[in-house]
Every structure is written in structure tokens, then in C-alpha cells.
Amino acid sequence: MCGISGFFDSSLQTGESDLRSAAARMAEAVRHRGPDDSGVWTDAPCGIAFSHRRLSILDLSPSGHQPMISSDGRFVIIFNGEIYNFRDLRSDLEKSGHTFRGHSDTEVMLAAISQWGLEAALKRFVGMFAFALWDRQERTLHLARDRMGEKPLYYGWSGAAFLFGSELKALRAHPLWQGEIDRDALALFLRHNYIPAPRSIYRGIFKLTPGTVLSLSTTSAKPGTLPSPVPFWSMKTVAEAGESFAGTESEAVDSLEKLLKRAVAQQMVADVPLGAFLSGGVDSSTIVALMQAQSSRPIKTFTIGFHEAGYNEAEFAKDVARHLGTEHTELYVTPEEAMAVIPRLPTIYDEPFSDSSQIPTVLVAQMTRRHVTVSLSGDAGDELFAGYPRYPLAQKIWNRIGRAPRVGRSALAWCLRSVEAETWDSGLGWLAKVSPESLWAGRVGDRLHKLADILSMDTPELVYR
């Protein structure tokens, strides 16, 4: 994890020393993202300032320092993330005559952009990334984010300055920051327990949409006016262009295992110690098993445990670690230790976020950092492979109501939607006292509106659109 930040001062009246000072303040605000190195670069006549905090993972030498300038001098980049196929790209570029000073993926990215252009290079990058690229020839600032949005990137105008950074606290550190709470974003938070992209908690400040690039021409940019992000990748397009798997179930399992094994191997490339979070569940256990199968030494694994049996997964994790032969570390947390984390959460997450998993996540990350620099996890396994009960539940509901007349289903859906979600919650509150807790755990109205969506659909395929 690194921290990137910077800005375009549209006034073009700020001197280089002030540009550097503001950029350094932004970098200092995200020091925790990159404790190993820092750098500032400016193009004062154009009002551009870049700053970077580095967590060294690949190429620990000074040749990996950022901001980094391309060999031809045209491009300057600050980059957070990792390009997993950088070695293959480097080999292709060397065949085209490129030479390299070091061994970082950042240098390969610059060479790829110089060789193939930004759009073509983005389509070749396999990895997680958020970066800012200054094209000195075209006087254009580009911001890009990986396909899944693994790496964060915020941007927006504040007065005469176009600001961007890995975290909102970097933007807030700029002297021209004018942050105003976005009440619409706050309403979204109260519904979803987080603020979905592209909004942020601040009016006019946005999260860059995953799989897109935003290009700001500094010769024509006007404060308050934002260009639209342009997609370089679309999950919908990929899905529509794909072909159904024609093999057997056994062949599908084998193919999936090969894909997972390759993905894990690519993410184990590092010049620093690495490990994995291990909960003992299917997702993290699978990742650790694939890591251990491709490692000549025991993988370092980490688990948070709780003394309350109903919440404790540490025993399952210990069994998996023992079976796989990992070097396992666990930390049991008291309620007091968990509560002590809560006051720090707004600073860590920058904007409202109410998933209770953030508490053990912070605790296990703190413990892990004392032992390794990089850690893999099994996050998103349930989303990718439909592991949550609600996924098959939607299909079961459709199986029961799908044969009902369309007009009847539509009428019932209209009735459910005609009552606001909050009204459903308050009106049905008395049922919470006499019904199973799992059924009335919250957001009942939201669930009824989702049921209305299913009732309105014409085909079962639309259930998962």
C-alpha cells in the first residue's frame, strides 16, 4: 500500500516552493500508507504538483522512487498498487528496445504507456492500481483506477484547485480545501451502511469509478467542471462477450483451481515478507492452502480470536494452520480492546462506514504488520461464488412465484413499493419482538423493496442482473 496525492492549481499563480509545500502536506497526511520513502515533484508553470508515500514491496532500491519520470521525459507518474504481470510486460517491452534502470513495476508501467499509449496499456495491466499520470507534452492529467476498484482514489475541485489522493485526508490537507458535507451521500450511508461510489461524504468530491480513466486537460479546465470518467474495462461487456463453459463439472473445478492458483502465485511476488489473514472459513483457507502449496517455507498466517464462543473463529483457523503447516499467530481480543479501536475508526476510514467487521480487520492488520509487509486474504469469496444465503434465496423465491400471472406479481410489487422502506421498518417494529432475530435484524423495508424487484421481473436471469 502506497499513498498518492496531488493537485492542479488552475490559477497558475502559485510559486514552486508553495506548490511543493502543499504537496508535502498532502503526502504527510497519508504517511501511514507509505513509511519507507516519500517524494514531491512539481511542474510550476502548469500548476501541477505530485506527492507520494512509498511502502516498498518490489525493487527496494532508490530506482523505485516516486514520483517517477519516463525515460523519454514525457510522462510523470505516482502509483499505488501492484501490476502482477509486470515481468511479462517488461519482457515484451525489452523486445521493442526498451531498457530499464531498476526492477519496479512502476517503471514498466511508464514504458508501457510510452510504447502503447495509455488506453492500450491499461488494458494490458493485470493487477490492482490507482495512479496519476501527467502528460507534459499534452498538458493533461490522467487519473486511473483498476477494474475492481481495489485501490482507492478520490478527486474533485476545491476552489481553484483540482485535488486528488488515495484518502480524503490528503485532500483535506490542501490549503484550499473547502469540504462541505453532502447530505445526499449521508442519506445513502444511512441506507447502505457505507457511501457507494462515485459519491464521497463531501459535496463535489468523488471516488473514481473502477475500471475508468479521468483525463483533465489543464489548458481548458474550469474550476467546478469535471470531465466524465471513461471506461477502459466493463464487466458487462466481458460477460456478454464470454462463452458458456462447455466442460463437465469436474473440468470446471479443475479450471477454477488453475485460475486461483495462478492468481495467488502472481500476488506472492514481493521483495518483502508476506503472509495471510486466516479465519478458518472456506475463502481464506483456500487462499492459504494455495499459497502454502507454492511456497518452500511455512506461510505466516494471522488470526484474531474472541473469548466469546459465539464469535470466535480462532479455533477453526488453528486447525487449518496445523493441517497446512503454516507459521501461525493469533491474538485474542477482550471487549475493552475492541472498544478502544472505535474512536480511531473515523480517522482510519475517512468517511462514515458502519460494518462491524472493521474492528477485527484493524486489529488483525495491526498485529500482522509487526511480522510481514504484505498480507493476502479471502475477502470477496462469498460475493464472487454466491456464498451468502441471500443468493440462493432469491432463486428460491422466484421458483415459488415465477409461475404466478405477471399482472398479479406486478400489483403486489407496486403495493410493497408504495410504502417507504422507513415506514415499513417502523410499522412492522412490533413483529421484531415476536419473530426470529435473524428475520428482523434490520432494514426490513429495504428487504421488502428487494422482494418487489423480484416480483417485477420477467425471467429468472434478471434476478442476478
CA dist 374 → 2, 56, 291, 408 (Å): 12, 10, 13, 54
Q: Taken in order 178, 183, 184, 187, is the CA torsion positive or negative?
A: positive
Extended beta strands in 15-151, E state? 37-43, 48-54, 68-69, 75-83, 127-135, 140-145
Environment class of residue 102 by beta-carbon count within 10 Å: exposed (0-12), middle (13-18) or buried (19+)? middle
14/190 Cα distance (integer angstroms): 40
Alpha-helix runs per DSSP H in 31-125: 86-95, 105-116, 118-124
327, 299 Cβ separation under 8 angstroms: yes
Residues 6+ apart with CB under 8 A from 283: 378, 379, 381, 382, 387
**Of 39, 7, 3, 2, which is closest to residue 134 (Cα–Cα)?**
7
354/209 Cα distance (integer angstroms): 22
**Of 381, 275, 358, which is closest to residue 324 (Cα–Cα)?**
275
Q: Taken in order 47, 53, 58, 62, is the CA torsion positive or negative?
A: positive
DSSP 294: T
Residue identified by cell 478527486 is 155
**46 among known catalytic residues:** no
For 135, phi then psi, to 5°, come to -95, 105
∠ CA 393-398-404, rounded to 5°: 150
- Bridging pattern class, strands 374-376 and 274-277: parallel
- Bridging pattern class, strands 205-207 and 154-158: antiparallel
**Of 101, 93, 113, which is closest to residue 65 (Cα–Cα)?**
101
204/182 Cα distance (integer angstroms): 8
User: Residue 128 is placed in which grid cell?
Assistant: 490492482
- Catalytic residue among 2, 289, 364, 457, which? 2
7/157 Cα distance (integer angstroms): 9
Catalytic residues: 2
